Amino acid sequence: MEPGIGHFTGAVVQNATAQSTIHVTNLTVDATLPGNPCDAGEQRLRGILFFGASGTATNNHVTVTQGVNFGCQEGNAIEARNFVGETLSSPDRTSVTISDNVIPLYQKTGILANGNVDAIVTRNVVTGVGPSTLIAQNGVQMGFGATGLISANEISGNNYTPNSFFACGIIAPRILIYRYAVCGAPRSFRWRPFSAFIKE
């Protein structure tokens, strides 16, 4: 519990300083937090966070969800972000490899890379909640300047049923996606021709 706030905020596991290198291996993170209010910015709930850091996340088991407030736009299982503040990309590029992790439940995004980040995302099992009216989940997302490779992942269960927004197995502008394995319900996975290159 965070002092003076009354509930847990931020990441369960995070690097201590920016521009550092961390390796997170063989860890179980269970951030199942019933009744948490919605938080924003750096206080958003996350399982493992590389914040302006390079490194690896390998062979971890990560669950991140808030129970009754499942519609909050937070709860990323593994996230690599490299911004100055919340919006301006850092001039120093970071590099992360996220591999062989099991993410059986997440609130917003299973694996997320945003900002000035090079990311390799491979051999992960990422499972959303399935058809949901509460939140449009994304299995793997790279954006806001992130580049990388998404390869041989099993991604399923991303299906937002109201259709006012779409849930997606992969959201990845200008990213190479190789050997995509499994996506859940038909609406869970939508390719836009300009946003991703698929190599069989």
Residue 63 or residue 69, greater confidence: 63
Q: Which of 140, 135, 130, 129 shows the shortest CA–CA distance to 171?
A: 140
Give strand pairing partners of 21: 54
Greatest mean pLDDT among 41-50, 77-86, 158-167 lies in 41-50
* Least confident stretch, 97-111, 128-142, 153-167, 177-191: 177-191
Contact between 166 and 188 under an 8 Å Cβ cutoff? The reply is no
Q: What is the pLDDT of residue 83?
A: 80
Higher-pLDDT residue of 35 and 69 is 35
Q: What is the pLDDT of residues 139-168, one digit of tens each?
A: 898 888 888 888 888 888 877 777 655 555
Strands of the chain, DSSP E: 11-14, 21-25, 28-32, 46-51, 54-58, 61-65, 76-84, 88-89, 94-99, 102-106, 109-115, 117-122, 125-132, 138-143, 147-151, 154-160, 168-171, 175-178, 196-199
pLDDT number for residue 123:
93
Reply yes or no on whether the pLDDT at 48 is more than 70.
yes
Residue 42 makes CB contacts below 8 A (sequence gap 6+) with: 10, 51, 86
Q: Please indicate whether residue 79 or residue 155 has the higher confidence score (pLDDT).
A: 79
d(CA 84, CA 191): 30
b/e per residue 93-109 (b: at least 16 CB within 10 A): ebbbbbbebbbebbbbb
In terms of pLDDT, which residue wins out, 192 or 43? 43
Domain boundaries along the sequence of the chain: 23-199
Nearest to 30 by CA among 104, 91, 81: 104
Query: Of all residues in the chain, what percent carry a pLDDT higher than 70?
Result: 72
Within 8 A by CB and 6+ apart from 72, the residues are: 36, 37, 38, 39, 45, 66, 107, 108, 135
Q: Which of 47-51, 56-60, 61-65, 66-70 has the lowest mean pLDDT?
A: 66-70
pTM: 0.81
Neighbouring residues of 58: CB distance < 8 A, sequence distance ≥ 6: 23, 24, 25, 26, 97, 98, 99, 100, 101
Q: With 80 as the cut, is the pLDDT of residue 117 above it?
A: yes
